[in-house]
Structure 1
């Protein structure tokens, strides 16, 4: 679990320390720096893969914007553009400082990792300077390096922008590429097929939840290619005609909803799940469903998502929120619990999304009155999808718990094809 991250000098993040819990909602208006924070974590993923140069080259070469990657500095005063990040884990710590190297690369000005013992003493296991890729992969390093590399493997950001391209999600995938959904969702057919074969309760839950937002959906059509038997394509059948359709026949938001369902219900999700703009393209009903799945998954995995949707925020409690604001062009991140804790009475009247939308989560705000508030959430009449916007029992969570328990707590089962 990532306990905290310290960032200096990345785009709008001039200086920030962000503490994380199990479930974290980065909430704020567009341009507040939500995605920049996830970009930093994604950079750490590529550092752990020894692909820092390739990643930076890929994202910056097209627009020749290497220096825009760093916060503005006054070079006349001798300030040097650089990005500095420190990851705080329970027993380990990692630090890196990167600087620009023309035309499209960066250099590791310094890098270190170490242990934090019970007395809060930090002991450096290794350190290095002026190299082009991480030293975490060097075999002679202490055991802290493999731990940090494994942690960084979960720092891939799921946005599913590629899933909006019909060619990606509709393409055939390798049947054996089924252990974990990739960020581009290109292997969604193989992952779904594995779930169908070995985790029937999870598969039926995905099937049922998807039907809630796509009334014409009857079932998935998942069979390996007859000619190329190691390839599989994700298709679906219409409830009225029973014709088989490609995923490209679904709407953009519907395809993205399916990607999120599979991401959150796959049997072996990443230990840390990062989702950018989670509400993008989702109906209010779909946002409620995804919120319920994240609450459930957050009991055993760490989840960090960005959102600006009051409807999605409604699915969570105030203590899950990290407020993102842009002050004079600089991003600031504040856990709501650090600002105020007297929200229990307000939550008896208003939803979390309503309170955020009306700016009650700030030091200067006053307690809301017992009056209607703009915005709000849609609560389903169906008990299967009901969530309580003002806290308390959430039957949807209990149903998910029971369904996943029926799958043998993650143990694979064998079913007929």
Structure 2
């Protein structure tokens, strides 16, 4: 994605944001980082024609309009990709009985094709030929991930189907075992890179034991350690190790999503693992993917350049975004890392609020 405009969505009153291959959002709680990320979830919801159900389940229209219906009555999105060649725009308006699509455009080289009139759901997924094919393909390959649930009942610890759950990694990692199994069987060299990366952070880890239950058609995330012969299950991993495994698979998978959106990927990771994570994120962009991540970790941003970082501040209930620049920071970067500069408030934007 090259550019995005968002109006009237949560704390995003009016945002015009140019996006680069790497986009690391920093800022305090409530600044609006997660609201920008939730735009990508909402885009997926619009595509799959489940907007009405999604909005009702999350507090109704008031929870999505900027400062509520007394201030805003419309939400508008515009995004451009493929070097600005293709684009998609949609406008939603609050009505008496909810919110409706009032304008929807497919865009090619600045020319707009109207999808139609007023609808209860977006219709972009119904356009399977011509320009719609390219726009559908992009939206489908823009995925948001969250690997925060690593408790006893974590989705990553359950079984997944070795035939049906292998096309792409699910947003919560619930098909992690089947996806890894598919990579091992179809892309052994890539599997070995993943295995070696995990071992570099968790030296006790030897290899996964991915043996499908042929009767059930499922496989679980079992593994073998360097020290013990017995096969162990996912509960034997620490929280940080399990999360790092999911992140490694995400960023090193054979076919990357066009855009990877992820919130606080560094949670629970050792500083050495955070450094590895930063390398994984950079490697994904080198392979053609775009990464949009939100963080409050000074350790993580220390591994990036100022131009990779977007500071987010909440001013009068409105989120404001500013990409950092090396200008005026060069002399400080000779003495401190970017994260240390941020912690010392030398960078005034995106500061944590205490």
Indicate the residue corresponding to 1:222 in structure 2.
210
The CA distance in 2 between the partners of 1:253 and 1:166, in whole Å, is 16
The CA distance in 1 between the partners of 2:26 and 2:229, in whole Å, is 41
Q: What TM-score comes out, normalization by structure 1 length?
A: 0.77
**What SS does the corresponding residue of 2:122 show, helix, strand or coil?**
coil
- Match among 331, 342, 350 for residue 345 of structure 1: 331
The CA distance in 1 between the partners of 2:154 and 2:345, in whole Å, is 41
Indicate the residue corresponding to 1:255 in structure 2.
242
Say if 1:106 and 1:208 are closer, same or farther in 2 by CA, change over 3 A: same
8 Å CA contact 2:91–2:102 kept in 1: the answer is: yes
Shift of 1:280: 1.5
**What SS does the corresponding residue of 1:137 show, helix, strand or coil?**
helix
**What SS does the corresponding residue of 1:248 show, helix, strand or coil?**
helix
Say if 1:74 and 1:163 are closer, same or farther in 2 by CA, change over 3 A: closer
Shift of 1:143: 2.2
Say if 1:53 and 1:74 are closer, same or farther in 2 by CA, change over 3 A: closer
8 Å CA contact 1:73–1:80 kept in 2: the answer is: yes
Deviation digits for residues 375-398 of structure 1, max 9, x if unmatched? xxxxxxxxxxxxxxxxxxxxxxxx
Q: Which runs of 5+ in 2 are unaligned?
A: 350-354
The CA distance in 2 between the partners of 1:180 and 1:74, in whole Å, is 38
Indicate the residue corresponding to 2:53 in structure 1.
54
Indicate the residue corresponding to 1:98 in structure 2.
92
**What SS does the corresponding residue of 1:178 show, helix, strand or coil?**
coil
- Match among 207, 212, 231 for residue 200 of structure 2: 212
- Match among 344, 357, 360 for residue 343 of structure 2: 357
Indicate the residue corresponding to 1:107 in structure 2.
100
Indicate the residue corresponding to 1:45 in structure 2.
44
Shift of 1:226: 4.9
Aligned residues: 345
8 Å CA contact 1:67–1:100 kept in 2: the answer is: no
Q: Which runs of 5+ in 1 are unaligned?
A: 117-121, 364-417
Shift of 1:320: 0.4
**What SS does the corresponding residue of 1:93 show, helix, strand or coil?**
strand
In the alignment, is residue 29 of structure 1 matched against residue 28 of structure 2? yes
Q: What TM-score comes out, normalization by structure 2 length?
A: 0.90
The CA distance in 1 between the partners of 2:282 and 2:126, in whole Å, is 38
Shift of 1:330: 1.4
The CA distance in 2 between the partners of 1:57 and 1:160, in whole Å, is 25
- Match among 231, 234, 239 for residue 218 of structure 2: 231
Indicate the residue corresponding to 1:123 in structure 2.
111
The CA distance in 1 between the partners of 2:12 and 2:72, in whole Å, is 15
The CA distance in 2 between the partners of 1:80 and 1:296, in whole Å, is 41
In the alignment, is residue 194 of structure 1 matched against residue 182 of structure 2? yes
Deviation digits for residues 74-128 of structure 1, max 9, x if unmatched? 73xxx5422111112211222212234577x531122222222xxxxx3211243
Shift of 1:294: 0.8
Say if 1:67 and 1:197 are closer, same or farther in 2 by CA, change over 3 A: same
**What SS does the corresponding residue of 1:296 show, helix, strand or coil?**
helix
8 Å CA contact 2:10–2:66 kept in 1: the answer is: yes
Indicate the residue corresponding to 2:167 in structure 1.
179
**What SS does the corresponding residue of 1:240 show, helix, strand or coil?**
coil
Larger Rg belongs to: 1
Indicate the residue corresponding to 1:68 in structure 2.
63
Say if 1:114 and 1:74 are closer, same or farther in 2 by CA, change over 3 A: closer
Shift of 1:32: 1.1
8 Å CA contact 1:170–1:233 kept in 2: the answer is: yes
Once the two structures are superposed, the pairs formed by residues 67-86 of structure 1 within 5 Å of their partners are: 67-72=62-67, 75=70, 80-86=72-78
Shift of 1:151: 1.3
**What SS does the corresponding residue of 1:305 show, helix, strand or coil?**
strand
**What SS does the corresponding residue of 2:232 show, helix, strand or coil?**
strand
Deviation digits for residues 326-385 of structure 1, max 9, x if unmatched? 112211011113xx624333322221111222232348xxxxxxxxxxxxxxxxxxxxxx
Indicate the residue corresponding to 2:6 in structure 1.
7
Using CA pairs under 8 Å that are at least 6 residues apart, name the structure with larger relative contact order, 1 or 2. 2
